[in-house]
């Protein structure tokens, strides 16, 4: 790994911190959009989770092409284009709101996801390789704090724009209205997203320009294989089992993380909380994640290795997901009186904190010239955000919102496997 003094990586990491803040803002705002679209566009649980499907399926479609685009045009130009693509998606919300068209909203989310995928493909390997490998999880955790801080702010900020103080009664009365009156009310509700997304689109456009002229060095100038014995040049990317298994781990990790955050508002509502009170629970979950990041930053690597931190977090994930299923009883915490299982979903935020940061350095280890393509494969794993919430939504419709959380158990089971064994696999054996 390249040797750089801390002073030489401060400016690049600060810029990437800003990029990760944007990641978080664009990503976790969906936690409010899902219940809001469900109401305003009259959707089932399954249909409402098409928000995450449209947003994240773009990672599967564009990640590998993004790696080739970045190789051709460079890191900074690629990030600039990524921001501008996201801006186009945000501006599409304006006609979508005017027509109250859920398919057009999904198109806008898909385009935002394409831009975000391009940014992620560039930024994540950059953070991984810019400093010592044994501190990669620490650097990724700092990026995670920026991401999750934005995630705390974004749902509350959007909710402040689109949810009014007297909406609780309105939401209860909508189902009693005649069709003409209901349509008029729902049209007014959905148009509340126009102003915030017009602002978001404008900011993203400006950020693209600023990134292009920033002092961020090109990723090609960071030696991808410095300090490593590389594999033979003729070896195909598929001959790195720890990478392929790591991409599957990313799939299960991000899907379970998004389920915990994006489903918590509907779950809180089924526990008797109205939307104006339930809207804060994604922020609680993300705050728990930040606490995990801070703990990781303070303890890695002097007190605990990033590998052991990954193992602990995966085991916590299994424990908390089972407690969501089997714990019952009313508790009063932070002024909310609700079932204790809701707070175990919040604690899943803590369990998820060091999983992403632990997987990346293990999966990218010793890839040499395959680093960019390997990073693209890991980014493709983010399509778990598209698929797993839909599976949760299906079970939530056909069983119950609580029983839908059974989908989390196999996710964490596989993550435990990767943390303890999967990352060590060096050759396929069938």
- Dump pLDDT digits (tens) for 140-163: 778 878 888 888 888 888 888 888
Per mean pLDDT, which range of 28-37, 126-135, 265-274 is the poorest?
Answer: 126-135
Q: Encoding tokens for residue 265?
A: 């508002």
Residue that is written with structure tokens 């560039």 in the block: 122
User: Residue 224: its pLDDT value, please?
Assistant: 44
Q: 3-state class of 421 per DSSP?
A: coil
Give the pLDDT confidence of 278-289 residue by residue, as tens digits.
889 988 998 999
Domains defined for the chain, CATH in brackets: 6-224+236-424 (1.20.1250.20)
pLDDT band, residue 6 (cuts 50/70/90): low
- Rounded mean pLDDT, 309-324: 96
Give the pLDDT confidence of 39-86 residue by residue, as tens digits.
888 888 899 989 889 988 888 888 778 877 877 887 778 888 999 999
What is the reported pTM?
0.76
| All residues at 6 or more sequence positions from 5 whose CB lies less than 8 Å from its CB, including other chains | none
Q: Residue 167: name the closest of 339, 263, 35, 258 by CA.
A: 35
Q: What are the CA-CA distances from residue 400 to residues 50, 266, 282, 392 (Å)?
A: 18, 11, 20, 10
User: Residue 370: its pLDDT value, please?
Assistant: 75
**Percent of the chain residues topping a pLDDT of 70:** 90
Q: 3-state class of 99 per DSSP?
A: helix
pLDDT band, residue 1 (cuts 50/70/90): very low
Torsion-angle region of residue 217: left (phi > 0), alpha (psi -120 to 50) or beta? beta
Q: How far apart are CA 113 and CA 100, in angstroms?
A: 21
Q: How far apart are CA 410 and CA 237, in angstroms?
A: 27
Task: Measure the CA dihedral 115/98/185/172, to 10°.
Answer: -10
- Rounded mean pLDDT, 410-420: 97
User: Residue 164: its pLDDT value, please?
Assistant: 78
More confident residue, 301 or 315: 315
């Amino acid at each position: 790994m390249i040797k750089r003094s801390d002073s030489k990586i401060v400016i690049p990491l600060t810029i990437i911190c800003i990029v990760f803040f944007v990641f978080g803002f664009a990503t976790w705002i969906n936690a409010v959009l899902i219940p809001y679209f469900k109401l305003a566009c009259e959707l089932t649980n399954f249909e409402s989770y098409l928000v995450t499907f449209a947003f994240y399926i773009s990672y599967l479609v564009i990640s590998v092409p993004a790696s080739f685009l970045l190789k051709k045009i460079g890191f900074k130009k690629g990030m600039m284009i990524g921001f501008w693509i996201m801006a186009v998606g945000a501006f599409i919300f304006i006609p979508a709101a005017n027509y109250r068209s859920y398919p057009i909203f999904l198109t806008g989310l898909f385009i935002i996801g394409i831009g975000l995928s391009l940014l992620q493909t560039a930024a994540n390997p950059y953070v991984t390789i810019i400093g010592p490998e044994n501190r990669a999880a620490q650097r990724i955790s700092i990026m995670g704090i920026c991401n999750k801080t934005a995630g705390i702010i974004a749902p509350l900020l959007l909710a402040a724009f689109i949810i009014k103080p007297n909406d609780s009664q309105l939401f209860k009365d909508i189902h009693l209205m005649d069709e003409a009156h209901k349509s008029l009310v729902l049209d007014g509700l959905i148009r509340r997203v126009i102003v915030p997304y017009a602002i978001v689109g404008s900011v993203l456009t400006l950020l693209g320009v600023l990134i292009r002229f920033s002092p961020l060095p090109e990723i090609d100038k960071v030696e991808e294989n410095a300090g490593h014995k590389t594999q033979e040049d003729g070896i195909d990317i598929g001959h790195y089992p720890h990478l392929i298994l790591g991409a599957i781990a990313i799939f299960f990790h991000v899907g379970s993380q998004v389920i915990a955050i994006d489903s918590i508002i509907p779950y809180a509502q089924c526990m008797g909380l109205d939307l104006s009170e339930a809207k804060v629970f994604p922020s609680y979950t993300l705050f728990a994640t930040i606490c995990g990041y801070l703990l990781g930053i303070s303890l890695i690597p002097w007190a605990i290795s990033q590998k052991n931190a990954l193992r602990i977090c995966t085991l916590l994930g299994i424990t908390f997901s089972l407690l969501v299923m089997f714990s019952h009883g009313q508790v009063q915490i932070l002024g909310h009186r609700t079932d204790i299982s809701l707070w175990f979903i919040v604690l899943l935020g803590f369990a998820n904190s060091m999983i992403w940061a632990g997987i990346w350095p293990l999966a990218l280890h010793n890839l040499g010239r395959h680093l960019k393509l390997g990073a693209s494969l890991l980014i493709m794993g983010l399509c778990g955000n598209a698929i797993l919430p839909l599976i949760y939504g299906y079970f939530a419709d056909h069983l119950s919102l609580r029983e839908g959380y059974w989908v989390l158990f196999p996710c964490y089971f596989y993550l435990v496997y990767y943390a303890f064994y999967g990352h060590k696999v060096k050759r396929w054996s069938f």
